[in-house]
Amino acid sequence: MKYFAALRLICVKVVLLVSLTVKATEPSPKIGLALSGGGAKGAAHIGVLEVLEENRIPVHMVTGTSMGSYIGGMLALGFSAGEIKRRTFDINWHDGYFDRLTRKELQLKEKKRTDEFLLYTDIGLSLDGEIKPLPGLVLGQKMASMLRELTGNPPNFDSFDQLVIPYRAVATDLEKIEPVVLDSGNLVQAMQASMSVPGALRPVQKDGRLLVDGGIVNNMPVDQVKMLGAEIVIAVDLRDAMFKLEDLNSAVNVVNQLTTYMTNTGSDQQVALLNLDRDVYIVPDVSYMVATDFNLMYQAYRSGREAALAQLPKLLRYQIDEQQYARYMADKRRQWLPATYSFTDIHIVNQTTLSDTSLYEWLSLEPDRNYSVKELEQAIDRLYAKGIFEKITYEVEEDGKHLSIIVVEKAWGPGYLNLKLSIERDNEQRPNYAVGAEYLLTNVTRTGGEWKSKILLGVQDKLTTGLYLPLDYQQQYFAEFGIGWQQEIREFNNVARFDADQDEVKYKSLQLFSQLGWNIERDSRLLMGIDGGYSDTQGEFSAVPKQEVTSLSGYGEYNYDSLDNFFFPSTGTLLDVQLGYRYSDAEIENGDISESVPYLDSQMIQPLTWDEHSVVALVRASGSESNAFYPVSPQSLGGLFNLSGFNRFHLTGNYSAFGSLIYRYHVDDVNFKLFSAPLYLGGSIERGGVWLDKDDISWDSSITAGSVYIALDTLLGPAVLAYGVAENDNGSLYFAFGSQL
């Protein structure tokens, strides 16, 4: 008996040893990850990846749709969950839905132009009056740039099987409404095609097809990960919840209900492909958000973690030991992302009317020099900042030595129409308003010349037209010529020269100018020019004499502007200084007054920001001596933040000096889904004065003012509600909207 018992024990041990040996040598199953679309909800995928990494569960292949294609692509490149999280959360995804560059990225002349015409419609308008609308609200330039920086812009691949983890993205053929599996080529383009939400981002053109968000036809590509050879599938479903009956009370919600049904039905078909005894189906609770709630991405990430942890008992069946996982992690480290590129050949695919030389000069890229992806993006942004291109992309060949830059001119150009609408209303005086339009005709010369005309109607009526002519291909030197007509009302108060009841004066002028300029760098320039013209000045009552002036001036000017936002600056500096000498001849009823005088026009703006607080210091000084009855070059103060408490142009003279400190506190961002608008509370302290004679200038004769305000920085311009007070019982409630420039 003892003999048989010992024999049985030996047999059991042998069987156990053999089974353990077989298990140890058994290859782990090939695990595939299928990541669904969902916009901002896609941050939940990062939480899932984090749990997989923490528990040593490998991923051997990955497929994704929309935001899932981005997360999956980052994983396929070899990024860890922590790296994906950091890069994804460090970027402002709202920026991807606006193609306009930030103000700091614009050339100085573009900053000044866009500050005035904030209704940047960019509508195409030909010289014969044909209107050419944009092909889409958002063309995808900024989104492509963001994806290139996030991924490191790897070179093109013959197959996405060459990635550290084999990868597929799913898009939709917009013509045939059928799925398109992207399995080779440019990884960033594949991601962008899969993420291009119809109506929000322009479709991506590839191989003769228009591709949009894959969620329309296959929002969770389980079938594709199985085709890659996955034996076990981990599927992450970020489906939207259906609306309840009481919520179906608007056209938008009704349309959303239908699209949600279609998307969820497609996902249900993919769920049916899962074997729920072996596969793992993860459904994070993201019902509290929609695809555009990028401000809730961290909550989505937490929801992803929680959902994955709830499935941990099933996931742990596929856990591998520490040694195996260390080898797996080493094998999947990023292989396709060199720190820098050095190109032997840089080729521009020029789909514009500009010369190749101009494009090469603006890019300033040279062969056989090291460039990081960030430096390449900066070069692309320099070119895109010209405002005349629809799309600029670049591709690195697989060997990393050849760079192709594709430059596409706006198909709706070369003429563009932009608009202006502004109002400053106080409760005491007339409203200061302006409506206007600007027409810009680009590429009138091979070096990028422009013809610009604008019309403004309101308290100031203005009509101007002029040419901007770069003198070299890099546009470092330029000449400008123009003519302008202007009519405006100025006010004179407490000035002995005028009757007590006479304060409104109408100025009309016709001016011509020409100047030469040097663009020192993006933010600064030097100008030297001459201007001259004729002005007609008439008081409100016939008892006040009419004045006619002819003038000729020569001047030098320096401009520096690195402000991130002209209306609510947080960083940068603005400095404008113009020094000139003017000859004028004024004709009035009592005779002529001829004089030659120097003049100054200057301002400086310097913000200081800490945490959510900002203080903006502003100083202005302008003027020249004049013995004419009315100022030849009138200087004015009045209006919100410009001696608050007075209406605009309330104080006018030959000289003005002004300083202010404007404080603001960033309360919150008002979320409008695709974009958000900062909300501010603040106040100002102001001091300034206007004088007819230089000898009258003094601190004691200047005026103290201030204001409190609430403001919203919208896409259409600043909206401000304020109350301003000044000395001598001057006070006013203001509403201001748009640019007051």
**Confidence bin at 228 (pLDDT 50/70/90):** very high
Q: Is the pLDDT of residue 4 over 50?
A: no
Say what the pLDDT of residue 334 is.
Answer: 56
Mean pLDDT over 696-703 rounds to 89
- Per this entry, what is the length of the chain? 741
Cα 265 to Cα 84: distance, rounded to the nearest angstrom:
30
Find the mean pLDDT for residues 377-391: 88
6 has a pLDDT exceeding 60: no
Residue 515 has pLDDT above 80, yes or no: yes
Q: Indicate the pLDDT class of residue 11, thresholds 50, 70 and 90.
A: very low
Is residue 14 predicted with pLDDT exceeding 80? no
- pLDDT at residue 20 is higher than 60: no
What tokens were used for 212?
């949009």
- Give the tens place of pLDDT for each residue, 278-316: 999 999 999 888 888 888 999 999 999 999 999 999 999
Which residue ranges form the domains of the chain, and what is each CATH number?
28-99+139-326 (3.40.1090.10), 103-137+338-475 (3.10.20.310), 481-491+527-737 (no CATH)
The answer, yes or no, to whether residue 64 has pLDDT greater than 90, is yes
Asked if 422 and 115 touch (Cβ cutoff 8 Å), the reply is: no
pLDDT of residue 541: 54
DSSP letters, 4-61, are: HHHHHHHHHHHHHHHHHHHHHHSPPPPEEEEE---GGGGHHHHHHHHHHHHTT----E
Name the CA radius of gyration of the chain, rounded.
Answer: 33
Q: How far apart are CA 652 and CA 524, in angstroms?
A: 30
Give the per-residue pLDDT at 527: 97
Weakest mean pLDDT among 5-14, 144-153, 331-340, 516-525: 5-14
Q: Is the predicted pLDDT of residue 648 greater than 60, yes or no? A: yes
Strands 635-637 and 432-441: what pairing? unpaired
Residue 637's nearest CA partner among 697, 687, 682, 596 is 687
Q: CA–CA separation, 392 vs 141, rounded Å?
A: 7
**Which of the two residues, 345 and 3, has the higher pLDDT score?**
345
- pTM recorded for the entire structure: 0.82
CA dihedral 101, 103, 107, 113 (to 10 degrees): 110
Q: Could you tell me the CA-to-CA distances from 98 to 63, 672, 673 in Å, in that order?
A: 27, 14, 13
Say how far apart CA 559 and CA 336 lie, in whole Å.
44
Residue with more model confidence, 469 or 28: 469
What pLDDT sits at residue 13?
43
pLDDT of residue 544: 58
Q: For strand 402-409 and strand 345-351, is the pairing parallel, antiparallel, or unpaired?
A: parallel
pLDDT at position 17 is 43
- Is the pLDDT higher at 500 or at 90? 90
Q: Where are the alpha helices (DSSP H) in 283-372?
A: 297-310, 312-315, 322-331, 356-363
The two structure tokens encoding residue 417: 């129409």
| Per-residue pLDDT at 441 | 94
Give the span between the Cα atoms of 693 and 544, in whole angstroms.
20
CB 636 within 8 A of CB 689: no
pLDDT (average), residues 685-706: 91
Q: So what's the pLDDT on residue 494?
A: 44
List beta partners, residue 451: 441, 467
Q: What is the pLDDT of residues 451-500, one digit of tens each?
A: 999 999 988 899 999 999 999 988 999 999 999 999 887 766 544 444 44
pLDDT digits (tens, 9 = 90+) for 343-374: 888 999 999 888 888 898 888 888 888 888 88
Helices (H), 242-296: 251-271
Backbone dihedral angles phi then psi of residue 583, each to the nearest 5 degrees:
-105, 130
Q: Does 584 have pLDDT greater than 80? A: yes
Which pLDDT score, from 0 to 100, does residue 592 have?
A: 81
Q: Which of 115, 213, 523, 561 is catalytic?
A: 213
Q: What is the pLDDT of residue 24?
A: 43
Q: Residues 177, 181, 182, 188: is their CA dihedral positive or negative? A: positive
Active site residue 66: yes
H or E stretch at 389: strand 389-396
pLDDT of residue 279: 94
Predicted confidence (pLDDT) per residue in 236-277, tens digit: 999 877 777 777 777 767 767 777 777 777 788 888 999 989
Strands 477-491 and 460-470: antiparallel
Q: What share of the chain has pLDDT > 70, as a percent?
A: 91
> If residue 185 lies in a helix (H) or strand (E), which one and from where to where?
none
Q: Identify whether 287 is a catalytic site residue.
A: no
Percentage of the chain exceeding pLDDT 90: 48
